Structure 1
Amino acid sequence: MAELPGAQRAYRAPCPGCGAPVEFRSAQSAFAVCPYCQSTVVRQGETLARIGKMAELFDDFSPLQLFAAGRVDGQPFTLVGRLQYAYPGGRWTEWIAALDGERTGLLSEDNGAFVFSLPHMLERDAPPAGDLRVGATTAFNGQGYTVASNEQVTLVSAQGELPRLPDLGKPFAVVELRSDQGQVLSLDYDTQPPGAYLGRAVRLEDLQLTGLRDESTKDEKGRSFACPNCGAPVTVNLADSKSITCGHCNSIIDLSQGIGGELKHAEQDEPVRPLIALGSVGTLQGVNWQVVGFQHRMGSEPGDDEHFGWNEYLLFNRQRGFSFLVDAEDGWSMVAPTTGAPSMAESGKTAKYLGKSYQQQYAYNAETTYVAGEFYWQVERGQKTFNRDFANGNALLSMERSANELTWSSGSKMDSATVAAAFKLDAKKDMFKRADAAPLSAASSMGCGTIILVVVVILILLIILSTCSSSGGSSTRSSGGSYGGYSSGGGHK
């Protein structure tokens, strides 16, 4: 087992439930779960007292495990505990990271990526959770934040050493706030005053982790099951899947509560055929990505009956987590969920993130109409959000808002030929072409005289149209909505 960073003395005592040894490696740990009988014990001086029994862990097939070690900001840490929570959208895990004899942090999932957080002392008391509504802005310690989620959660299981222990099964609020500097502030209302943790996004590859769970030793039992609709075999391939579709009958199956119990499902008809097949592997931006999910979405501007559609491919890389490849009428783009939340002008016309300003392109209502594959959030046909799309040249930002969550994604536009080549579909590259390429390619072949002639013709047409409009009524509609949006699904949980 890995040694904790820093010089300290481990404490070991017999479990009051079964007599097996229970060891405390971190001086900050007040509780532990016996690995043999699941007794929850509290350290009282030189003895252990049993205060209950912990439920079995929900196996999330994470590459992380107890005693995995790494470095963050040059400081070594070791994972000594794990807390598993449930909320209406599913479950998530927080790993307790012991940095030294005085501090513990949290390594937790965030939209398929990871966030490393440390305890944060607030200069003012946190308001009641009910006062922090999703989308509202506030400030703590001089930093502005946007409320990104407000959920009622419960602790369902734990493992290893724990600095704190919420009451098992007792609901409490967890509010997440995000800044335009890429930070996430989590307020846990299981204590008074609420506990606060401040974190930022990290990549597993940058943490230099050792002692990770060996993929080859995973127990694959229980990861395959019979479709609750048609009985065909369904296999779960991703560690964090909360939804999957049956490849035989296209039913959407809810995995948010595990696959050992009764599985909820919803049938789908009118299947949409993806241009890039599920399971395909492609190299984009120097990273190998596998297509694990696909969804078709429809949008409409508020007050407008006209609809438009686009496709989203969910991409997965073991070290980078998840990204989205978006196929819209005006071109391809690749984006990933942000850890922070851009600051948006009150009018909604501009947004700022990591020092860069973006202009709003479209604002529209979105609905998921068809899904296939696996998803790390609980996806459903008919899910609705309100979206805003922003751009700064080729750089993109997209916001999605639902009742309990506000999510952002950022990325950039991509050339259609690059996408086709990435997935070795050059023979079908004409099928990848979108409207984005036409103006640029046409302009590049024009001479100066041609451009001047085009400008003169446009001016004449504008004068004619202006004369016509002065003599009668006219109606116009914005061209927005062709860009589409991203389902960044799920929050810090």
Structure 2
Amino acid sequence: MSIFTASCPCCGAPVSFRSASSAMAVCGYCNSTLVREADQLRNAGQMATLLEDYSPLRIGVSGMYCGTRFTLIGRIQLRYGAGFWNEWYLILDDGRNAWLSDASGQYAITEDKGPVPQAPQFDQLKPGASLGRQERQYCVSDKRVARCVAGEGELPFVVGPGWEARGVDFRSRHHFLTLDYSEGFPPRCFEGQAVLLDTLACQLLRSPDEIAAQAGRLPGKLAALECPSCAHPIQWVPGSANHLACPACGARLDATDPRAQVLTQAAQAERSYTLELGLQGPLDGQPATLIGQMQCSSPRLGAWSEYLFLRQDGSLRWLVESDGAWELATVLDVWPDSVSPSAVKLEGQAHLQLRSYPSTVQHVAGAFNWAVQVGDVTQITEYRASERGVRVFREQSADEITWSRSRPFSPEALAKLGVSAKALAAARDAQEGDDPEGEDADGDDARMSPWLPRLGKICAALLLLLNARALALDTGFALTVCVVALLLFWLPILAWRWGGDA
């Protein structure tokens, strides 16, 4: 039920405020930013037009959160150096307000818990840092300085194009926390949890036909774009991934503007990929389109290819190709628990650390949901479950930490996706070459961590214990033998550790 209704002073259209806490609204007809002052509306200027990104959400969508019905009443679009996301403002039936974060198919709902005077300064926080709150330990997952580029509906504070948001996100399993430094220090705390759209029982979501009518094309449909730098054709999916990399000249493009402006020129050598951009087929239970391809390398592991797929529901999946073996990877909404420095637990299952290494982008082509470029470095830590072939990855960059899980992708699934016969043969050879215990292609190296260092310590302790009497009686020959034996135990371990793993 509307609390307050007035006419837009610019175009005369009716504007309703459904929440008593709403301080402004964006006119749905003329995009005027209207500030509520008592029973009057003041025009504070024009708000930019929203970028249609094929989100199924819209103003008026309702759903259930923790047993209480909610309705979306406002949205702002925030843009930072590597991409953009939506923040939906919602009102719950019990009178509370909250925010629904919508970023590349990942969602979180948080509520304003007030200022945090004891919080660290914004500049002191980096990805990986910890924060304790209400007997729960959080980890910094993301640190951004973003600006508001557009908005619609009702909002609890006055924003406009250029309004700057300074926020730090924290994660702990499914728990989500944001410290918002936009108004200075102390920051405000927004606390809640990561959610799946399917679990919110949403009603009035936009249908594919409605999205097509507003965006001008069906979600997932490929469009052709001519690179403004070299005129090479680029296939991409408008609205879903707007950072493009020309496969011919390496130019980085910002496709949020219809003119696809060139951001940087980046010469890169030609690379061959098993899968071609635009490939369409079933992936993880839904039709999907290959929109981006990337080649990465590490000093010890060599090179591998990663393929970004956009599924029909707007979510993203990765196919990873390494030495003929294929894996399907999904970004995790629920983070693992840290059990020890070398183990984590996810969904009740322990995962032991395999290795840690830097991954450097060597080549990039197509469209991505962030501004990836040649030379980007990510520190990856792998963990392996007892289930054959299942691995968990922790990926840390300068601004962000993400967790993902991968599992083997069979030759049969590749065939359904439309992969070439040559690639299928390589996948079958790689699958047949696996050892019976399900080790990965670098299983010998992987088994060294963490068990080999532990074995070295045990053997060293036994050696000293068994030779304790000889060492006590003879400080010459026995000591020399023990030192040589210890070196034989530890030199391979130290060489492995210093050979490229961090």
Shorter-normalised TM range: 0.7 to 0.9
1:341-373 residue CA offsets vs partner (Å, 9 max, x unmatched): 434467x42233444332111111111111222
Aligned to 1:446: none
Aligned to 1:448: none
Q: Give the fraction of aligned pairs with identical amino acids, expressed as a percent.
A: 28
| CA distance 1:235–1:277, shift in 2 (3 Å) | closer
2:116·2:186 contact (CA, 8 Å) conserved in 1? no
Aligned to 1:110: 103
2:394 to 381, 391, 399: 399
Q: Determine whether 1:56 maps to 2:49.
A: yes
1:81·1:95 contact (CA, 8 Å) conserved in 2? yes
Question: Shift in Å at residue 324 of structure 1?
Answer: 1.3
1:430-482 residue CA offsets vs partner (Å, 9 max, x unmatched): 12136454244699xxxxxxxxxxxxxxxxxxxxxxxxx97998757549999
Question: Shift in Å at residue 397 of structure 1?
Answer: 1.3
1:2-32 residue CA offsets vs partner (Å, 9 max, x unmatched): xxxxxx3342112233433222123332211
Question: Shift in Å at residue 160 of structure 1?
Answer: 1.0
| CA distance 1:76–1:345, shift in 2 (3 Å) | closer
**Structure-to-structure mapping, 1:28-107, within 5 angstroms:** 28-100=21-93, 102-107=95-100
| CA distance 1:18–1:9, shift in 2 (3 Å) | closer
2:251·2:267 contact (CA, 8 Å) conserved in 1? yes
Aligned to 2:326: 332
Q: Determine whether 1:187 maps to 2:179.
A: yes
Q: Distance in 2 between matches of 1:426 and 1:89?
A: 33
Aligned to 1:163: 156
| CA distance 1:242–1:479, shift in 2 (3 Å) | farther
Q: Secondary structure at the match of 2:425?
A: helix
Query: Which is worse superposed, 358-367 or 38-47?
Result: 38-47
Q: Distance in 2 between matches of 1:442 and 1:362?
A: 18
Q: Determine whether 1:349 maps to 2:374.
A: no
Query: Which is worse superposed, 385-394 or 431-440?
Result: 431-440
The gaps in structure 1 that reach 5 residues or longer are 1-7, 301-305, 444-468, 485-493
Q: Determine whether 1:381 maps to 2:374.
A: yes
Aligned to 2:230: 230
Question: Shift in Å at residue 280 of structure 1?
Answer: 2.7
1:430 to 414, 425, 431: 425
1:171-227 residue CA offsets vs partner (Å, 9 max, x unmatched): 342100111x22221221123542332343333344434241613313449x76531
| CA distance 1:9–1:23, shift in 2 (3 Å) | closer
Q: Determine whether 1:358 maps to 2:351.
A: yes
Question: Shift in Å at residue 265 of structure 1?
Answer: 4.2
Q: How many residues align?
A: 442
Aligned to 1:141: 134
| CA distance 1:195–1:479, shift in 2 (3 Å) | closer
2:149·2:160 contact (CA, 8 Å) conserved in 1? no
Q: Secondary structure at the match of 2:49?
A: coil
1:317 to 311, 317, 328: 311
| CA distance 1:238–1:481, shift in 2 (3 Å) | farther
Q: Distance in 2 between matches of 1:68 and 1:28?
A: 19
1:27-83 residue CA offsets vs partner (Å, 9 max, x unmatched): 332211122333322223322233343233334343332223334445433322110
1:203·1:319 contact (CA, 8 Å) conserved in 2? no
1:237 is matched by which residue type in structure 2? V
Question: Shift in Å at residue 381 of structure 1?
Answer: 1.4
Q: Distance in 2 between matches of 1:384 and 1:471?
A: 36
Question: Shift in Å at residue 427 of structure 1?
Answer: 4.0
| CA distance 1:172–1:67, shift in 2 (3 Å) | closer
1:36 is matched by which residue type in structure 2? Y
1:149·1:406 contact (CA, 8 Å) conserved in 2? yes
2:253·2:261 contact (CA, 8 Å) conserved in 1? no
2:190 to 188, 197, 202: 197
2:119·2:187 contact (CA, 8 Å) conserved in 1? yes
1:217 to 192, 213, 216: 213
1:362·1:480 contact (CA, 8 Å) conserved in 2? no
1:245·1:252 contact (CA, 8 Å) conserved in 2? yes
Q: Secondary structure at the match of 1:9?
A: coil
1:334 is matched by which residue type in structure 2? L
Q: Determine whether 1:279 maps to 2:272.
A: no
| CA distance 1:20–1:166, shift in 2 (3 Å) | closer
The structure with the greater share of residues assigned to helix is 2
Aligned to 1:251: 250
| CA distance 1:269–1:169, shift in 2 (3 Å) | closer
Q: Secondary structure at the match of 1:217?
A: helix
Q: Distance in 1 between matches of 2:282 and 2:235?
A: 25
| CA distance 1:216–1:439, shift in 2 (3 Å) | closer
Q: Distance in 2 between matches of 1:471 and 1:178?
A: 42
1:246·1:252 contact (CA, 8 Å) conserved in 2? yes
**Structure-to-structure mapping, 1:12-23, within 5 angstroms:** 12-23=5-16
Q: Distance in 1 between matches of 2:226 and 2:88?
A: 32
Query: Which is worse superposed, 200-209 or 469-478?
Result: 469-478
2:352 is matched by which residue type in structure 1? Q
| CA distance 1:29–1:472, shift in 2 (3 Å) | closer
Q: Secondary structure at the match of 1:264?
A: strand
2:252 is matched by which residue type in structure 1? I
Aligned to 1:264: 263
1:252·1:371 contact (CA, 8 Å) conserved in 2? no
TM-score of the aligned structures, taking structure 1 as reference length: 0.78
Question: Shift in Å at residue 115 of structure 1?
Answer: 2.5
Q: Secondary structure at the match of 1:431?
A: helix
2:227 is matched by which residue type in structure 1? C
Aligned to 1:4: none
Q: Distance in 2 between matches of 1:420 and 1:206?
A: 30
Q: Distance in 2 between matches of 1:325 and 1:480?
A: 30
Query: Which is worse superposed, 200-209 or 291-300?
Result: 200-209
2:291·2:367 contact (CA, 8 Å) conserved in 1? yes
| CA distance 1:425–1:331, shift in 2 (3 Å) | closer
1:139-197 residue CA offsets vs partner (Å, 9 max, x unmatched): 11221111112222222221111122346524342100111x22221221123542332
The gaps in structure 2 that reach 5 residues or longer are 218-222, 439-483
Aligned to 2:293: 294
| CA distance 1:217–1:110, shift in 2 (3 Å) | closer
1:390·1:398 contact (CA, 8 Å) conserved in 2? yes
Q: Distance in 2 between matches of 1:84 and 1:120?
A: 22
